[in-house]
């Protein structure tokens, strides 16, 4: 590669490009769709540039303004952050194409600036190297996400957004209090420096509890999930896809990063508590999904359940053996793709019939075959069936539990898969019944159907790329040298 290409600050461009695009959308409203799609596409190209740099040089640090840590701000990229950035870029492209056909002209003018600001915040979050900048990006992400959740202006959407706002502000406050305690004790917010200095003290324990509680609330871990179903189910379909696929993963990414790098001396009791809450989330979210009568609410409660799998890994990481963090990274990726596809499919059903009532989805496969196929393929990954990415992640997690004799966690994971099959087929079963089609059905643009199908298909295809993904996430990560059994 030419030296000029390798010297491009792609990490900075990942933040600046969507920010500039968001401002341009305000200034040039007549070109808003073109500017929006171009900004997201440029951001995706910047991810490719960053990936080439990372493969060539390994872990990357970029001192903003020439000032490195601890005095300045550094952007940091390793294998895990690149995986999250690539996941964000791919889902963002799909959401942007889908949104161009989903929103009317008035909604387009409100959607694109907020969406691009949210994308910039997500990219900045995955590149942040200190705990205070993570707080700043959390706030920017949360405020943009809340505004997007209320975009439709319905009473249900506004009510869900207000719940979301309360949760995100409370979670940020708890997180910031924890950051303040760590800064008071160690006079730094840089993650790499803290990882070398933090010891097991009362203040560190308190900070760990506050930060974990705040991020668990933002991630909607049971029993802090009260805000997620109403917010995700009442938001416009592309917004629901972003919230479930990306925003929830961002707060979990911070939690994972901090527990691995700073709080790695936390007791097994704390890890077991997170694992217990994760197991309860799997069961509770799955049962609630089965009880729902609307597709979007069903998919939202499914998110609560699938988040539980991410937390089940915490008690499994305290002993040697199969590395559960590889499973977590794989599950986060596969869930993002599958859940974005599911919410887009639900949006297509809602547009087609004017509702998403499961009982009235009769024979919809005749008119929306690609949408039904997308929901079915995404369901394969959510259930954890081969050859999907969901299967790889859940199989590794199950192996880790069995190798450590954690039969109770293994049983919960298996039950969660069976319950997932139940709520996926609850929707698919109605789609193939033989009732008459509604006369008021509307046409769904082909771009909206194909976008959902592309995401769902990718959730299956990544099941064949396990080795490459595991090699990627090992770059620079503290869990890079553990046993992996595909």
- C-alpha angle with apex 452: 11 to 463, nearest 5 degrees? 70
Residue 124 to residue 129: CA distance in whole angstroms: 10
Task: Please state the domain extents for the chain.
Answer: 316-486
Q: Please report where in the chains the tokens 């001396």 appear, as a residue.
A: 265
The Cβ of residue 370 has, within 10 Å, a number of other Cβ atoms equal to 20
Run means of pLDDT, 10 residues per run, the chain, 486 residues: 65 93 90 92 94 86 69 82 95 94 86 95 93 93 94 89 94 95 88 83 89 94 92 92 95 91 75 92 95 93 95 78 78 95 92 80 79 93 92 91 89 95 88 58 84 95 88 71 36
Q: Coil, strand or helix: which one is 276?
A: helix
Residue 360 to residue 137: CA distance in whole angstroms: 41
Give the pLDDT score at 266.
65
The token duo for 6 is: 């390798």
Give the pLDDT score at 61.
82
The Cβ of residue 192 has, within 10 Å, a number of other Cβ atoms equal to 16
Q: Do the beta carbons of residue 131 and residue 182 sit within 8 Å?
A: yes
Give, in order, the Cα–Cα distances in Å from 176 to each of 101, 124, 134, 135, 307. 39, 18, 10, 7, 23
Q: Which are the contacts of 16, defined by CB distance < 8 A and separation ≥ 6?
A: 120
Q: Do the beta carbons of residue 420 and residue 382 sit within 8 Å?
A: yes
Give the pLDDT score at 182.
92
The token duo for 306 is: 């699938």
Residue 290 to residue 296: CA distance in whole angstroms: 12
Backbone dihedral angles phi then psi of residue 289, each to the nearest 5 degrees:
-60, -40
Give the pLDDT score at 71.
63
Give the pLDDT score at 481.
39
Residue 442 to residue 464: CA distance in whole angstroms: 37
Give the pLDDT score at 360.
77
Give the pLDDT score at 485.
33
Give, in order, the Cα–Cα distances in Å from 257 to each of 101, 118, 191, 339. 37, 21, 9, 23
Strand boundaries in 324-474, DSSP class E:
none
Classify each residue of 39-76 as buried b or exposed e, where b means 16 or more C-beta atoms within 10 Å of its C-beta: bbbbbbebbebbbebbeeeeebebeeeeeebeeebbbb
Backbone dihedral angles phi then psi of residue 61, each to the nearest 5 degrees:
-125, 130
Q: Which are the contacts of 115, defined by CB distance < 8 A and separation ≥ 6?
A: 22, 36, 95, 96, 99, 144, 148, 242
């Amino acid at each position: 590669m030419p030296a000029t290409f390798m010297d491009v600050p792609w990490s900075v461009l990942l933040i600046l490009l969507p920010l500039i695009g968001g401002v341009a959308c305000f200034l040039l409203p007549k070109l808003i769709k073109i500017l929006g799609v171009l900004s997201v596409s440029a951001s995706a190209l910047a991810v490719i540039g960053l990936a080439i740099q990372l493969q060539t040089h390994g872990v990357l640090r970029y001192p903003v303004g020439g000032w490195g840590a601890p005095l300045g701000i550094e952007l940091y990229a390793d294998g895990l952050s690149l995986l999250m950035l690539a996941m964000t870029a791919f889902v963002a492209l799909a959401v942007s194409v889908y949104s161009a056909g989903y929103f009317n002209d008035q909604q387009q003018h409100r959607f694109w600036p907020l969406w691009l600001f949210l994308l910039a915040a997500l990219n900045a979050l995955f590149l942040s190297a200190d705990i205070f900048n993570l707080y700043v990006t959390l706030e920017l992400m949360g405020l943009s996400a809340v505004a997007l959740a209320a975009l439709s202006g319905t009473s249900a959407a506004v009510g869900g957004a207000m719940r979301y706002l309360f949760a995100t502000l409370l979670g940020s406050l708890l997180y910031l209090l924890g950051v303040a305690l760590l800064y008071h004790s160690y006079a730094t917010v840089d993650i790499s420096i803290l990882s070398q200095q933090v010891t097991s003290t009362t203040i560190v324990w308190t900070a760990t509890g506050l930060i974990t509680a705040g991020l668990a609330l933002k991630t909607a871990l049971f029993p802090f999930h009260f805000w997620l179903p109403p917010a995700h189910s009442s938001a416009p379909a592309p917004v629901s896809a972003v919230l479930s696929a990306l925003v929830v993963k961002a707060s979990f990414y911070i939690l994972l990063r901090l527990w691995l790098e700073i709080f790695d001396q936390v007791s097994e009791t704390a890890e077991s508590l997170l694992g217990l809450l994760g197991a309860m989330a799997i069961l509770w979210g799955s049962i609630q999904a089965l009880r729902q009568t609307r597709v979007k609410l069903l998919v939202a409660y499914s998110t609560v359940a699938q988040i539980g799998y991410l937390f089940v890994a915490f008690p499994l990481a305290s002993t040697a053996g199969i590395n559960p963090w590889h499973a977590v990274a794989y599950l986060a990726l596969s869930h993002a793709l599958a859940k974005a596809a599911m919410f887009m499919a639900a949006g297509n059903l809602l547009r087609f019939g004017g509702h998403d009532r499961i009982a009235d989805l009769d024979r919809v496969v005749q008119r929306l075959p690609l949408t039904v196929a997308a929901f079915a393929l995404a369901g394969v990954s959510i259930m954890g069936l081969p050859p999907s990415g969901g299967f790889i992640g859940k199989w590794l997690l199950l192996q880790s539990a069995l190798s450590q004799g954690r039969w109770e966690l293994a049983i919960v994971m298996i039950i969660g898969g069976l319950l997932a099959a139940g709520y996926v087929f609850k929707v698919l079963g109605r789609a193939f019944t033989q009732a008459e089609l509604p006369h008021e059905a509307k046409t769904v643009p082909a771009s909206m159907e194909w976008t959902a199908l592309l995401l769902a298909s990718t959730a299956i295809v990544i099941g064949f790329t396990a080795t490459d993904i595991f090699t990627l996430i090992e770059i620079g990560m503290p869990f890079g040298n553990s046993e992996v059994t595909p």
